[in-house]
Chain A
Amino acid sequence: MVKQDEVKLIGVWASPYVARAMIALNLKGVEYEYIADDLFNKSELLLKSNPVYKLVPVLIHGDKPICESRIIVEYIDQVWASSGPSILPADPYDRAIARFWASYVDDKFFPANRVLFWGKDEKSIAEAKEQFLAALLQLEEAFVNCSKGKSFFGGDTINLVDIAVGSFLSWLKAFEIITGTNFLDKKKTPLLVEWAECFRSVDAATEVLPEAEKLVEFWKFAQAG
């Protein structure tokens, strides 16, 4: 018998998308059960809860599954509106801007990264590197406009954009270790460098972000396989 207010999250430890859901839940102080899945051997629960994409994260609230990380984060923000800080801005225009940049992260930033670090073809990797660096510069500019001089894209507290980008910080660090390159460069994107430090020390994020070294091991293992 499912209790109406039971919260479960199906995830895998290395996924930045899963990290987003966990950060949001932590921010709102929501107690939940974490169910670790195996993407090479997906559970019945996952396949039943996300038949369309068969991917993590899936938030299960009572008996209702919610899929897609940004949709999950907005759901959490709405359901637990009265606990913790707001994840989406109150003003509709600011909200549209936050959604725009969160969408940019998934449409431009992540795909470039995927090819850059997991791609096999030299030409696409070179193109992806350019796109990735351009995206970082774009996000630096976005940060100026969104933060209005404060520590986060959301101002004093983290918002949807902080979570969208911040969920990726451990992987970014891992890739810096793997390639020996500083992607977050103090000279090119000084504000993002500072922001990254601030984000990593936010309580809701600290326990969630995996250690970069563990991700390096995971990447090496995946490359060998």
Chain B
Amino acid sequence: MASEKEVKLLDFWLSPFGVRTRIALEEKEVEYEYKEEKNLILGEKSELLLKSNPVHKKIPVLIHHGKPICESLIIVQYIDEVFPSKTPILPSDPYARALSRFWADFVDKKISQYALRIWRLKKGEELDETKKELVENLRMLEAELGEKKYFGGEDFGLADIAFVPFTSWFYSLQAFALLSVEEEFPKLTAWGNRCLERKSVAKSLPEPKKVYELLSARRKELGVE
């Protein structure tokens, strides 16, 4: 039995990008060693992280047989390709696959930068603008989801994995930006609850209250509150 797991994940508990990779590993029931970058919030990065992701110096990084893979959506696709299972993360049909990638990419382009910035903004024009953008883009996601069980239809897939980590941030969005996802986006809310019924998601998502506590503390440190 190998003393070192052949799959390692360099991560930080709070990171939605890290959560994506954890969900994918759980979906595929892959045994892996989780290595937390404990002092990431202080700006400190481990030697291993700097060596494994010299270009971006960011988590998550998956290390498989000693070889690093970076960028969360790229990691998730790698996991899907290398660890086969009954439930593929990407569909085999080329068009369905393209749509899956498109909406996962949409989360990266149009949701993450706003959701991850809004908590550190003081009341004012920038907060209002950021909130407006986020709301518009959430509206597009709500419309795309429609009456479907998941973004890809019946099957949980890449687009769901891309967005579901942000559901842990909804509580904080309400507290800091008065944005109630539950009220404004009932379909996304129901979808989030459906996703939480999956073991992989329940196990990987940080608790919304814990996210709120950390962000709240950081806001005080940054003088936002």
Contact = CB atoms under 8 A, between A and B. Distances in A.
A and B together in one complex: yes
A1 interface: no
Contact of A96 (B78, B97, B106, B140): B78
Contacts, number: 51
Interface stretch (A24-32, A60-68, A177-185, A187-195): A60-68
Nearest to B94: A78
A92 B64 CA distance: 11
A95 interface: yes
Nearest to B80: A92
B74 interface: yes
A interface, size bucket: 20 to 34
A75 B98 contact: yes
A129 interface: no
Contacts of B67: 93
B55 A104 contact: yes
Contact of B77 (A64, A66, A96): A96
A149 B98 CA distance: 32
B106 A71 contact: no
B70 A100 contact: yes
Q: Is the interface of A mostly helix, strand, loop or mixed?
A: helix
Given A61-B95, A75-B95, A75-B97, A103 B106 contact: no
B69 interface: yes
A138 B94 contact: no
B75 A96 contact: yes
A61 B64 CA distance: 37
Interface string A131-156: 00000001000000000000000000
B142 interface: no
Contacts of A222: none
Given A61-B95, A100-B71, A138-B55, A71 B77 contact: no
Interface of B: 55, 64, 67, 69-71, 74-75, 77-78, 81-82, 94-95, 97-98, 101-102, 105-106, 140
Interface of A: 52, 61, 64, 66-68, 71-72, 74-75, 78-79, 92-93, 95-96, 99-100, 103-104, 138
For the complex of A and B, 6 pairs with smallest distance between CB atoms: A92-B81, A78-B94, A96-B78, A75-B98, A96-B69, A66-B98
